[in-house]
A = this chain, B = another copy of it.
Amino acid sequence: MENVRELFHTMTKRLGLLDRNCCTVGGIELSLVQSHILYEIDRMNEPSMQQVADALAIDITTFSRQIQTLVKMNLVKKTPYPQDRRVYILSLTPEGKYVTAKIDAEVNEYLGEVFSHMSEFERETVLRSIRLLNECMAKSSVCCKPLF
């Protein structure tokens, strides 16, 4: 199957770099992990700690401390969940929303630039390919299946 792994390796390396370069907003500097946490919280619907940690495959104890940091930075809010008092619901503060949106815009701008080197047809093909790849990864029993 030729150099498939190299293809993927190159891609993830570059996308990872892009991701890393998009972690600074104004005066605030985030780690990659922190930026991913904000992204997930924004995307999920009133998630609990455990749910976000699972979605990111981060150990819950590490996650707990990361959240403490993000709360101190005033980017994340922890709300006790009345129906189950063991649980905390996570949400973004206005500042957290702003930062997350800013990062999102930056990533999208970069991706837009990358796609600007393609024709409309190529762009559609690439996006369809990634969608298909994601579906197949979800189907696969080897790795991602149990989590997503």
Q: Which residues of A contact B (CB under 8 A)?
A: 1, 4-21, 39, 43, 56-57, 104, 107-115, 117-118, 122, 125-144, 147-148
Contact = CB atoms under 8 A, between A and B. Distances in A.
Contacts of A10: 134, 148
A132 B118 CA distance: 8
A12 B17 contact: no
A128 B122 CA distance: 10
Contacts of A16: 12
26 contacts: A1-B115, A4-B111, A5-B104, A7-B127, A7-B134, A8-B111, A9-B39, A10-B134, A10-B148, A11-B130, A14-B134, A14-B137, A14-B144, A15-B137, A20-B57, A21-B143, A109-B142, A110-B140, A110-B142, A114-B137, A115-B136, A117-B136, A125-B128, A126-B132, A129-B129, A129-B130
Q: Which DSSP category, helix, strand, loop or mixed, fits chain A's interface?
A: helix
**This chain: how many copies in the complex?**
2
Given A6-B43, A113-B140, A129-B130, A108 B17 contact: no
Given A7-B130, A114-B137, A127-B7, A108 B144 contact: no
Contacts of A13: 56-57
Given A5-B104, A18-B142, A118-B132, 11 more contacts: A1-B108, A1-B112, A4-B108, A4-B127, A8-B111, A9-B39, A10-B134, A14-B148, A110-B142, A117-B135, A129-B129
